[in-house]
Structure 1
Amino acid sequence: MDFVKTLFSTNLLLSGATAGVVIHQVIRRAFIDLYPFTTTGSVAASHWVLLGVFYRYGEYSFWEANRRALTLVCYTLVSLAVNILVYRAFFHRLRHFPGPFGARLSKFWAVWQTVKSKARWYQVTQKLHEEYGDYVRTGPREITIGDPAAIQLVHGLKATVKKAPFYAALTDSVHTTDDPVFHKERRKIWDVAMKESLADYGPIVEEFTSILHQQLDKSLGQPVSANALTKHYSYDVISTLGFGNSTRFLEGETTDIAKKVFGAIERGVIAIGLLLHVPYLLTIMETFTYKGPMGEFNRWAANEVDRRKKVGNPRPDLLGHLLKNSTDDAVGRQLLDNEARMIIGAGSDPAASTLALLLILLAERPEYQSKLRTEVTNAFENNTYACGKQLPLLDGIINECLRLYPSVIFQNQRLTPPEGLTIGSVYIPGDTIVCLGPYQQGRDKRNFVDPDEFIPERWTTRPELILNRQGFFPFSLGYYNCVGRTVAMMELRSVIARTVKDYDISFPKGSNFDGKDFYSRIVDHFSSGVPQQNVVFTKRQS
């Protein structure tokens, strides 16, 4: 051990610098940020090992040995950090892709841009594409893509990419799993559940639309929040479809627990919108959520699963199907709890944001209310409306809203295979995170004529305004498309069709609504965050 003693006693700086170089060569292709506790534990363990070496073989006192061990660990970490930054800036396999210099060094650059833009990362990336082109380096090992040729290669059924490390930072479910085999098996269960219950879901959706109208009748001519109205509606619908138990927000009979729970959902999606750039912080948040900001939501979801198990012959709901197809053990229970949270989180906020935007868009454009009213009135049979039925203009208005303002602006992250990914003449190396989202594609001139204009007719009588139909994927594509798309469309059709038939929608007098300013303030916190806006409902005479 004389060699060890000599090495560690002569030049701690040289030893630390050398160790940093060696460690970087070992880990530089690994996603060590996915394992924050393992990484922290490794640093702590190395400190205690070095302390033992110095104390045992260096003839130092305990405190001197501790000081030297800590010094060597610090030198090593500094050396490692310098090696990482220099490599990322000048020698990384993505060094030939253009982008901001800060993005090469750390994803905290993206976090800072998200903060600066007030949670509007989608606007940041839009500007980056305008400045740097279709392929922009937005992280040390991340490329954000604007090229429409990449859509099918990244999200299509034949895509060779897989889900990126961001998803591994979240609790496992059919939506978040990065295991393609597990996803395929679990997704099959979800698809069957949706197909078998779809006929039952329609009347439930219509029932809540009727309750919504009862509430509108109590505030006719008065300003009401489009945001609160649609959130309450969406929460009531999804809690009933998912668990057979309405939250009763629309009727004003909800519990304090429900208010806390759905407040936690809103805080949670805000956190995800910020921390998706640094998924290891999401891992830490998930680990401590029992008492953290999502703790109330997690406990509520677990209690709902327990309650649902005890209910006999309830109204048709999604959780009933999942219970029949989940193992009755710790793993199965954890999966059910995770997917119960997913039902509420993914099934409520996106639909609510799109409903709010549709009401606001129609208030801004009364001429479309008149056109839509004619179509909808003709579609009613025996004074009833079937929300599963497609109507050209109605679906055109919904599609145009989703094209301009996707309910989930989040750019789905994928990981290229080890051999890399070639898109046209562009080669992206293996193990690279690639991001491609619906907002940028929906506003690309290569996909749509006048892409920034609200023109529902492009989906009906003016198909020439659609240059590339693949540029429209608000519900994602391929194997990972939204499992609840059909139900979401039922909600949107039901509320918009029946509301336009029975009410005029307008802005409060003197509100001076500025559309350009309003829509620019939509935030990206995983699902879209729509600014608060009041609207007025006036009853129409039959």
Structure 2
Amino acid sequence: MLSSAPGYTYLVTAILGVLSHLLIFIRGEWHMQAPTLVKIYSLTAFALLIVEYRLGADVNTSFKTTTFAISSYAAGLFSSIIIYRKCFHRLRHFPGPWVAGATKFWHVWQCRKGKNYLVLENLHQQYGPVIRTGPEELTIIDAAVPLAVDGPGNECTKAVWYDFLLPEIALNTTRSIKDHNSRRRIWDRGFSPKALAIYEERVVEYAEVLAKQIERLAYQGAPVNVSDWFYWFTFDVMGEFAFARSFGMLQDEKWHFAVHLLRKAMSLLGPFSPVPWIAQIAFYITPWMYVVRDWLAMMQWCRDRMGERIQAGKPPPDVSHWLIDASLQKVSLEADREWLNGDAVTIIIAGSDTIAPTLVFAFYELARSPWHQDKLLSELEGIDIYDRVQLQGCVHLTAIINETLRLYPPVPTGGYRQSPPSGITINDIYIPGNVTIVAPRYSLARLDSSYECAEQFIPERWTTRPEMVKDARGFAPFSQGRFNCVGKSLAMSEMRFVIALLVRKFKVGFWGEDRGEKLFADLRDQFTAAPGRLDLRFQVRG
């Protein structure tokens, strides 16, 4: 009976905890095994309780003995982990908060309000350009990092965060370079010049609906909540590209329930991005929890819509058409369902949750700086905005978009990379192997070493004042190298057209006393940026 020799029992279980760390958990990745480990430990505790009771102990003694045995095991395990991480780990010499080297739970607490972009920027101000923000994580705020981890010839891979979507898998979440390259070839077919021409026609259709709705509100003298309308527009467009059908939000003037689920589910990524293993536990053990339930419901909705899209055959080509067609040609449709489901989620999130916030912040700056509206209106004079090539030649329009992407990156802190096993050297600093590297775009955009007046919105830095860009290496809004955004051309065309259409048709200003305070107060970093409410006044030009 364990209770007959409690001191010996607790010493043994504590030693087992230490050995579990030194012989097992110190090696490899364990985030995907987290649900299994929780089940194993729970069953072990229950088994100890039953054994102790069957050997003659009463219920209270059995429960007490089991609790102390498990606690001593946990004490040994976590003591070993913390001592190793703080005293022997290969990242122990890098600066950062003391607790960050021991556990990522401190980061979860810091991100509880979805302000990770500010958390990392504050750490940058306190500790410098290289900060240990986790036991096996470095945040590096240096313009050289994006090229070093994503540029040609690099051997970095995507970090454990990208397993978030499993068992579904997608082009932008697979950590296998081989699988990524194979899938990317299929996606490239879906974004050929011929396919882009078809997609852009649909963008124009929905943008005109958006403009008509804004015009109606303008004549009514009502404010336009662009934080809603731009998201409704981008999600309606991406619904067409993913499932060959719109969400209908521009017409209905309200959130579609599935998109509402998605937006609530994305809030998981705010506090829990630092600890993806907790999300795995929640998905498999507590699927009934509020936000987890929303995430799983959203994923099931996407699976159902992709199933309907497959059954629909071949409507006018959308992005899913090319993905489904590739599976049909390989006679691997069922085997590829997890890829198709994952890619559908990717289309929706990557195409909506990145373009919409960029449009919101672009119009915030246009309302804040009316002279940019005048300059843009002058540039658009004589331009056929329905001609993509002519719009591409509008340098101030493109500069406004680039400056918005710089100052308000749609992915403020995401894009985690893992260093190769042999390690990597960045600016003479050696980063050991298998370390997560974070290069927050929000902070990179505010480096005085890269930009003059880094905190200010100055589109001319990309046109007539190139001296204001000292080091452009940190500016990679669509990533680069093998992981660059496959939809970059479409995204730029979409943003150019919407901005050109609305600026030509309306004069934009702030509504009431709010000058963007709510926009920033409620801004959330949940992998993609989720801006707060922004009400603007749109006046139809004469």
Is the pair's TM-score, using the shorter chain for normalization, greater than 0.5? yes
Residue 118 of structure 2 corresponds to residue 123 of structure 1: yes
Please, which runs of 5 or more residues in structure 2 have no aligned partner?
none
Corresponding residue of 1:336: 340
Seen in structure 2, the aligned counterparts of structure 1 residues 8 and 486 have a Cα distance that, compared at 3 Å, is farther
Q: Which residue of 1 aligns with 2:301?
A: 300
**Deviation of 1:185 (Å):** 0.4
Q: Work out the number of aligned pairs and report it.
A: 527
* Larger displacement relative to structure 2 (394-403 or 172-181): 172-181
Q: Do the aligned partners of 2:146 and 2:473 also contact (CA within 8 Å) in 1?
A: yes
Provide the secondary structure at the position in 2 that maps to 1:94.
coil
**Cα displacement (A) at 1:503:** 1.0
* Counterpart for residue 137 of structure 1: 132
TM-score, scaled to structure 2:
0.90
Which of 263, 267, 275 in structure 1 is aligned with 2:264? 267
CA deviation after TM superposition for structure 1 residue 61, in Å: 5.6
> Contact (CA 8 Å) 2:419, 2:437: kept in 1 or not?
yes
Query: 1:456: Cα distance to partner?
Result: 0.4
Compare 136-145 and 415-424 and name the one that shifted more: 415-424
Aligned to 1:533: 534
Structure 1 counterpart of 2:208: 210
The 1:330–1:444 alpha-carbon spacing in structure 2 relative to 1, beyond 3 Å, is same
Distance 1:388 1:120 in 2: 39
Counterpart among 158, 171, 174 of residue 174 in structure 1: 171
Distance 1:150 1:422 in 2: 10
TM superposition score normalised by structure 1: 0.90
Which residue matches 1:319?
320
Structure 2 matches for 1:422-437, cutoff 5 A? 422-437=425-440
Aligned pairs for 1:374-393 within 5 A: 374-380=378-384, 384-386=386-388, 389-390=391-392, 391-393=394-396
2:482 and 2:475 mapped to 1: Cα distance? 16
- Counterpart of 1:204 in structure 2: which amino acid? R
The AA in structure 2 aligned to 1:21 is: V
Q: Aligned partners of 1:337, 1:50: CA distance in 2, in Å? A: 42
Paired residue secondary structure (2:256): helix
Secondary structure at 2:421 match in 1? coil
Q: Which amino acid aligns with 2:228?
A: A
Contact 2:233 2:249 in 1 (8 A): yes
Provide the secondary structure at the position in 1 that maps to 2:249: coil
Deviation at 1:433, TM superposition (A): 1.2
Letter in 2 for 1:241: F
SS of alignment partner, residue 536 of structure 1: strand
CA contact (8 A) 2:314 2:321 kept: no
Q: 2:132 is paired with a residue of what secondary structure?
A: strand
Q: Which residue of 2 aligns with 1:18?
A: 15
1:421 and 1:428 in contact (8 A); partners too: yes
**Secondary structure in 2 matching 1:513:** coil
Which of 39, 42, 47 matches 1:41? 39
Are residues 236 and 62 of structure 1, via their aligned partners in 2, closer, same or farther at CA, if it must alter by over 3 Å? same
Asked if 2 retains the 8 angstrom alpha-carbon contact of 1:297 and 1:341, the reply is no
Report the CA distance between 1:228 and its aligned residue: 1.1
1:13 Cα deviation after fit? 2.1
Query: Matched residues in 2 for 1:523 and 1:186: separation?
Result: 31
> In 2, distance between residues paired with 1:246 and 1:23?
52
Give the whole-Å Cα distance in 2 for the aligned partners of 1:335 and 1:388. 37
Moved more, 391-400 or 299-308: 299-308
Closer, same or farther in 2 for the Cα pair 1:46/1:205, shift >3 Å? Answer: same
Q: Tell me the secondary structure at the aligned position of residue 492 of structure 1.
A: helix
Find 2:515's aligned residue among 510, 513, 516.
513
| Correspondence for 1:480 among 476, 483, 489 | 483
Residue of structure 1 equivalent to 2:279? 282
Counterpart-to-counterpart distance in 1, 2:457 and 2:260: 32
CA contact (8 A) 2:141 2:439 kept: yes
Q: CA 1:165–1:273 in 2, change beyond 3 Å: closer, same or farther?
A: same
Q: Distance in 2 between matches of 1:352 and 1:20?
A: 49
> Counterpart amino acid of 2:487?
G
Q: For residues 406 and 498 of structure 2, what CA distance do their matches in structure 1 show?
A: 19
SS at match of 1:506: strand
In the alignment, what sits opposite 2:149? 154
Q: Separation in 2 of the partners of 1:95 and 1:179?
A: 29
For 1:310, the equivalent position in structure 2 comes to: 311
Mapped to 1, the partners of 2:69 and 2:215 lie a distance apart of 72
Amino acid corresponding to residue 212 of structure 1 in structure 2: L
Deviation string 1:146-205 (CA, Å, 9 cap, x unpaired) is 122222221223222211111123221111111111111011111111114111111111
Structure 1 residue 62: deviation in Å? Answer: 8.8
Residues in 1 aligned to 2:402 and 2:377: alpha-carbon distance in whole angstroms: 17
Deviation at 1:71, TM superposition (A): 3.6
What is the alpha-carbon distance in structure 1 between the residues aligned to residue 375 and residue 347 of structure 2? 35
1:201 pairs with 191, 199, 202, which one?
199
Q: Is the 8 A contact 1:387 1:494 kept in 2?
A: no
Give aligned-pair identity as a percent.
32
- Provide closer, same or farther for how the CA distance between residues 65 and 537 of structure 1 changes in structure 2, counting only shifts above 3 A: closer
The answer to whether the 8 Å contact 1:108/1:278 transfers is: yes
Query: 1:507: Cα distance to partner?
Result: 1.4
Distance 1:286 1:179, change over 3 A: farther
CA–CA distance in structure 1, aligned partners of residues 2 and 534 of structure 2? 70
> Aligned equivalents of 2:424 and 2:313: distance in 1?
51
Structure 1 CA distance for aligned equivalents of residues 50 and 514 of structure 2: 72
Range that drifts further, 429-438 or 365-374? 429-438
Does the C-alpha gap of structure 1 residues 160 and 312 become closer, same or farther in structure 2, counting only changes over 3 Å? Answer: closer
Q: Is the CA contact (8 Å cut-off) linking 2:383 and 2:390 kept in structure 1?
A: no
Q: CA deviation at 1:23?
A: 1.5
Distance 2:523 2:57 in 1: 61
**Alignment check: 8 A CA contact 2:355 2:495 kept:** yes
Q: Mean alpha-carbon deviation: is it higher for 495-504 or for 85-94?
A: 85-94
- Residues 181-233 of structure 1, C-alpha deviation per residue, up to 9 Å, x if partnerless? 11110111111111141111111111111111111221114211011110111
- Contact 2:413–2:438, Cα closer than 8 Å, also in 1: no
- How many Å separate the matches in 1 of 2:143 and 2:101? 24
- Could you tell me which residue of structure 2 aligns to residue 105 of structure 1? 102
> How well do the aligned residues superpose, as a CA RMSD in angstroms?
2.6
Superposition deviation, residue 46 in structure 1: 4.3
Partner in structure 2 of residue 438 of structure 1: 441
Paired amino acid for 1:320: H
The residue aligned with 1:237 is 237
Asked whether the equivalents of residues 387 and 493 of structure 1 are also in contact (C-alpha less than 8 Å), the reply is no
